[in-house]
Amino acid sequence: MDFYDLLAEHWAVFLLLLTRVSGIFVISPFFGSMNIPVYFRAGAALAMAAVLFPVVDSTGIGTPPSGLAYYGAAVLAELFIGWLIGFVAYIAFSAVHFAGKVMDMQVGFAMVNVMDPTSGQQIPLIGSFLYNLSVIVFLAVNGHHMLIATLVESFRTLPILTMQPSLSLPLILSNFVSGVFVTGMKVAMPVTFAILLTNVGLGILARTMPQLNIFVVGLPLQIAIGVLTLSMVLPFYVVFLDVLFNEMYGNIRIALSALQ
């Protein structure tokens, strides 16, 4: 049986599979970037679904709902599963955004924003640098392959038409979102502590030398100390990203297990 005959007999299942695959192209890192054309993302989702369909269909899938309303509910459920995978992955990169905002506020770049083509929003300068570096590392370590592998694994752990409503999922997602603050503060701690020591030193200098214009000296000094500290901790930041990505994959599995 060729692919066309298989699709003709199981078109309803193929559309459900395509809906789940399309979910990660909505919000996930790299795949859901706004600078990637919509037609390209739709084509990539269709190609990925065509490759996965014979594999998923061979594992055995229940009969799709016959009614239009029930089938529409099944489509929304599959779209939610794909969106959930992308959303949990996006949370990990949100921690990088938050860390960059904290660093920019401390260094003095809070009013310097740049346009982020991946999200279509204005983000701080250091936040943009850290986010782009995170995406580069994510691609360099084949994180996008791992995200696709996690999507494929979801069809084994949570087959099509088997999603069950879970009251624990909102609590799990709230814990993931609250972890953005903790993770972001950990990343921004070296720069924040260095700027704190700089401000303490400037305060002591202002008391001992009142004739010195501390505002003229303080801002360039904060920028220099902040950039120097960031350059020193940058190698450790790459190691931190490896830990962050591993935690991201674990969180995706936890979120999917809540729907079983």
Ordered by start, the domain boundaries in the chain are 3-257
- Report residue 241 CA to chain centroid gap: 12
Is residue 122 helix, strand or coil? strand
Determine phi and psi for 114, rounding to 5 degrees: -125, 155
140: its two tokens? 């360099």
pLDDT digits (tens), the chain, 260 positions: 455 555 545 777 788 888 888 888 888 888 877 777 888 888 888 888 888 887 777 666 666 667 777 778 888 888 888 898 989 888 888 888 888 888 888 887 767 666 666 666 677 788 788 888 888 888 888 888 888 888 888 888 888 877 887 788 888 888 888 888 888 888 889 888 888 888 888 888 878 877 777 777 777 888 888 888 888 888 888 888 888 888 888 888 888 888 87
H-assigned helices in the chain: 3-9, 11-27, 38-58, 68-107, 125-140, 143-157, 169-208, 214-257
pLDDT given for residue 119 in this prediction: 61
HSE (side-chain half, CA atoms, 13 Å) at 150:
30
pLDDT given for residue 115 in this prediction: 67
Is 0.75 surpassed by the pTM of this model? yes
